[in-house]
Chains A and B, each alone.
Chain A
Amino acid sequence: MHAKPLQRIVRGAWCTPILLSVFIGACGGSGQGLDTNGRPLSEQSKTNTGTNQPSNTSGENVFSSIQRDVLDVSCATSGCHSGTSAPLGLNLDAGKAYANLVSQSSIQVSGLLLVEPSNPDASYLVAKLEGTQDGGLQMPLGKPAINAQALAQIRQWILDGALESDDEPVVSVDPVDVPIPTIEPVLPTLDDIQSKIFDPLCISCHAGTTPSANLNLELGESYLQLVERPSTIDVQAKPLVSIDNPENSFLVDKLRGRSLGSFGDANYRGSRMPVVGGYLSESQLQAVEQWISAGATEMSSQ
């Protein structure tokens, strides 16, 4: 009787050293002249030339160190949260990560912000890194989890307000001689709402000759169809936008998901908006409310 199983094991086993020997001469790079991310050290020298170094000696700000030590190493790598292939469009490359994280809504779990300033427990980024997320998989995907020290640093950064840069040093002057200027707040205009909210997030459905809910939010139409106009679906009969009164504006209810009821109920007021692309961030919601509170004007502010 032939020992066929043993022969098969031998035949199968020799493929391993063959495969290894093919690449044994191409082991990992020596890393000479490179930083921890595999980039030439000379690149950093060119980047630092001419930049304004902080006057204090504490070094780079917190977010910069998080970008360098966590995001660049574990997240914004090729094929992951970098460049055009970033999953769910979440690009965490340097120069883009902050804007894509802070006060931005999660696509995987509605109602959560990726980073909610001052609230790390409610920040979806923390949940994903700690493995306590409700949606998707723990990050970084396929790699060892972020160490406890880095997680603590991220939590503290969020708790401290999730600033992009540390506060600049205060220059001491004689307060008697320096008049304190009155800075008028810059309120969002309809142009801002149109370009930053309606156009990218709403007109995929609310446009054209047969817009959803018969509400056209395209440029030139949105104001006329919103301000002091009744909704066709609101059982509470609120106007879509009530001038000076965001609390009484159905648009705000829809954007915040406020008091919409449950599907099938008699008082159901429809789904939270937008239905695709993720809900609005807190800053975007406040912009809409500020515009309404300021009179919901059609013209741009001077």
Chain B
Amino acid sequence: MSVAAYALVDCNNFYCSCERVFRPDLKDKPVVVLSNNDGCIISRSNEAKKLGVQMAAPYFKQKLFLKRNNVAVFSSNYALYGDLSARVMSSLRSFCPDMEIYSIDEAFLRLDGFSTRDLMGYAQKIRDTIYAWTGIPVSIGIAPTKTLAKIASHICKKTCASTGVFNMNAHWGDGAYIDNLLERTSVEDIWGIGRRSGKKLARYGITTARQLRDRDNFWVQKMLTRTGLQTVLEMRGVSCIALEEAPPKRRSIRSSRSFGKPVTRKEDAREAVVAYMVRAAEKLRREHLTATTISVFIKTSTHRPGDQHAEYASHTLPEPTNYTPLLVQHASEMLGKIFREKHQYQKVGVLLSGLESQHNQQGSLLSLTSKEVEEQLAAQSRLMHVTDTINKKFGRGTVQYAGEGLGQPWKMKQDNLSPRYTTKWGELCEVF
């Protein structure tokens, strides 16, 4: 019986593993990585997990505990993580072009056509190679469907730490074995079933994957919609979700952050909005898109005393654009309208939606506009191209918009940042 073989390759404690690549002294030590603004813990090494460090717990609450236990603490170094992720994915591609990058640290591969033994051997080879080439350890879960591969990978992390590979296909004929695995998998750990659905299912006495798998289709579809039914079919070994070879088309671009310190002055909030809009517009151009709708939002912290205020303003442009000065102007005006004095704002952001390919824009506009407008659009496009090229060559922010502000007191807190070893010449790892 020939069964499809989907493999989920999942980096172990990815951010922590990244921090270890250039810090061999941290190899068997407890390590944690903090979220934006050093807010909470988002990655823990196995040693940190053993110590009892909680995931998603606020950092300041655990600071003392971490210090006493000599846990190495790092702020998120996205430049490093993004680069190492690209290396892992690129290495994987050389093994199997049939792959889907699922997230920064996960990818699905299709490994049909191997015998069981060869499959194990191949998966092991993939694992060893990724570690040799990039320094990142990965776990591989193999199963007949993507949903089961995710479960297999989860099991692998818990029980197969030494081999790093778990092949569910090898046991597929053994009903009792599979039943047991799914019995020990909580319903919330199933891909596509979140906490809310989990709670709903619990009300009907369904808490394990096995129980859900064994419910009839009609009931499942009623409770969890067609997507839920697909998930259940996948758990039975029927592949319904194929590899997505191209990433889904972008629907919106968002740029926002929480502030390091609460912002009360309109000028500071405006600077932040301008800076985020500049960033979002750069993304827009990089993906050759234009936007029609701009949104700006602002909100106070629910944890802090004082009046609460959260507001969101939207504006649709007559023509799609990716011209930064225009986007910035609108964003700045909108902020002016929704900002309220005497509030402690914790977060501000911009959203660009109604995205279209920029080639569509040029096509339709050229037929309707006058020569002056055409020239102006061409000039705008050249200005953006030059700005982007300079920023790319000399570093982001080389050419800045005055509205972004020079001091930027609202900038994100990152007190424990490691060097950008792989993206900055001035921050290379030293060797003696």
Q: Do the two chains belong together in a single complex?
A: no
Give me the interface of A with B, judged by CB distance under 8 Å: none
